[in-house]
Amino acid sequence: PPRSISGTIRDASTLAGIGGVQIEGECETTDGSYEATVLAGKDGSFTLPALPGKWEIEVSGLHKKGYVAKGEAFSPVEVNGDNIENLDAYFPTYTALIHGTVKGPGGSPVTGDEIVQGQAFINGTFYNTHVSADSNGKYCMGVLAGTWNIGIDGENFKDHCIPGLAPPEPINITVQNGDTILHDITLVRSGSIQGRVLDDTLNPIEGVIVSAYLGKCWDSFVTSAETDEEGHYTIGEISAGTYYLWAHIENIDTCPAYRDTWYEHEPPTLCNEASGVNVMPGHTTGNIDFNLEPAGGISGKVTNRSGTPITGIAIQVMSDFNTNTCEGKLLGSANTDGNGNYRICNIPVGDDYIVRTYAENIAPGYIDQVFDGKNISVCDEATTVTVSKGAVTPNINFSLMVRYEGDFDQDGDVDGQDLADEATSNGSEVPIFKFALNFGKSQE
């Protein structure tokens, strides 16, 4: 049944409500994507209808009310059985102005909704505000004292489809309280990147997202494009420079059927080995092609021996496993969530993988295992796991024992009664082999 998320948008200094701003919510579930939008009342209060799931919430229109927007005013909100109430957000009034004109290389004005972006880290808070350029290219942005990175938002600019032009590199502007700073933004001649995405049998893949970044490893996202039914993509209207491209498939229902990859390097998960793609003004850099490897994933749950879920346990999938060291080539990893569940995607298709835990640092301390149920000391008895294309191999589960370490024999004997009493008093589970383990004997 529908639920709701309610709260108040407030002035950070006076705590008064800010009315008339827009609250937008988005939720991705296995059933699809859901959006909801409401306006805050005169007192700043809002009630957003919501289905069960994790909601991302944003506030827009703050600059029109004299306030500065934050990069993340709300943390993601999990809606389950109950309504979410008293979800308030606080925003400061601006204390300085940056204004100017957005124009093309020839000086003609450029207009667009919320195309001018300002970002700053001030006193530990990330601010991210957008304003529009009017029919004369004029913009005016209210800011706080600090150093602001001012430029054109690539995604919003792309929506306006201005052929042959691209955003320039943003610049940093230091602002003091009471300043009014003039800063014009001149667009540059654009270039583009074209290519094709194929599978391991050279067939085209539709629906792959190719994202462009200014740096390696997801540093400074610029824009993206999606492949068509023939696997072709075009990243257009970008400024001259060097870009790093990442091809991936977005799928929240299951693990994608292909492994994501950065352009022109092996193996596909080492982002720091990506090759840069150069773009020149007025030119198209072509033949930037990808061949994606078939992939799938695994999922499971980690509990203690009493069946209680354990949060934060690291799970790793390995190939080329060495049974002497209990290590191998890492293919993917994930940590268990609050219910002890995990899912690892982007694993190449195969049938000889080893899955193990890294749990010793999670209180109260656990003995690591390899799947299926073997302690790490006998990792040569691990059961291999198969990963199939576009599928998640389920029930790769672990039931971990607590590791007890320390001087437990306080009464001078070696019957382990002190350890047993301690385990009973604090609710821990202590298997009998730990007594032998603490005396340096075999775990068998």
Q: Are residues 195 and 244 in the same domain?
A: yes
Strand boundaries in 93-231, DSSP class E: 96-103, 112-122, 125-133, 138-143, 146-152, 165-166, 171-175, 180-182, 185-186, 188-189, 191-198, 209-215, 219-226
Coil/strand/helix, residue 300? strand
Q: 414: Cβ–Cβ under 8 A, 6 or more apart, which residues? A: 439
C-alpha 130: how far from chain center: 22
- Domain end, chosen from 31, 65, 91, is at 91
Each residue of 389-409: pLDDT tens digit? 999 999 999 999 887 554 444
Q: Which tokens sit at 106?
A: 């020839």
Q: Which tokens sit at 167?
A: 């955003």
CATH number (domain holding residue 56): 2.60.40.10
Q: Are residues 389 and 311 in the same domain?
A: yes
Q: What is the pLDDT of residue 21?
A: 96
**C-beta neighbour count of 46 within 10 angstroms:** 25
Q: What is the pLDDT of residue 47?
A: 96
Q: What is the pLDDT of residue 414?
A: 44
Q: Are residues 280 and 323 in the same domain?
A: no
Q: Which tokens sit at 279?
A: 């773009």
Answer yes or no: is 395 within a domain: yes
Q: Are residues 299 and 388 in the same domain?
A: yes
Answer yes or no: is 215 within a domain: yes
- Domain end, chosen from 384, 400, 416, is at 400
Q: Which stretches of the chain drop beneath a pLDDT of 70?
A: 1, 30, 160-161, 252, 266-269, 404-444
Q: What is the pLDDT of residue 364?
A: 77
Instruction: List the one residue out of 394, 352, 354 whose CA is nearest residue 254.
Output: 394
Q: What's the half-sphere exposure (Cβ side, CA atoms, 13 Å) at 323?
A: 10
- Per the structure, the complete domain to which residue 252 belongs is given by 191-291
Q: What is the pLDDT of residue 411?
A: 43
* CA atoms of 322 and 380, how far apart (whole Å): 8
Q: What is the pLDDT of residue 421?
A: 54
Q: Are residues 144 and 171 in the same domain?
A: yes
End-to-end CA distance of the chain: 52
Number of separate domains in the chain:
4
Q: Are residues 196 and 178 in the same domain?
A: no
Q: What is the pLDDT of residue 1?
A: 64
In eight-state DSSP terms, residue 31 is T
Coil/strand/helix, residue 121? strand
pTM of this prediction exceeds 0.75: no
Q: What is the pLDDT of residue 169?
A: 87
Instruction: List the one residue out of 335, 350, 389, 343 whose CA is nearest residue 30.
Output: 343
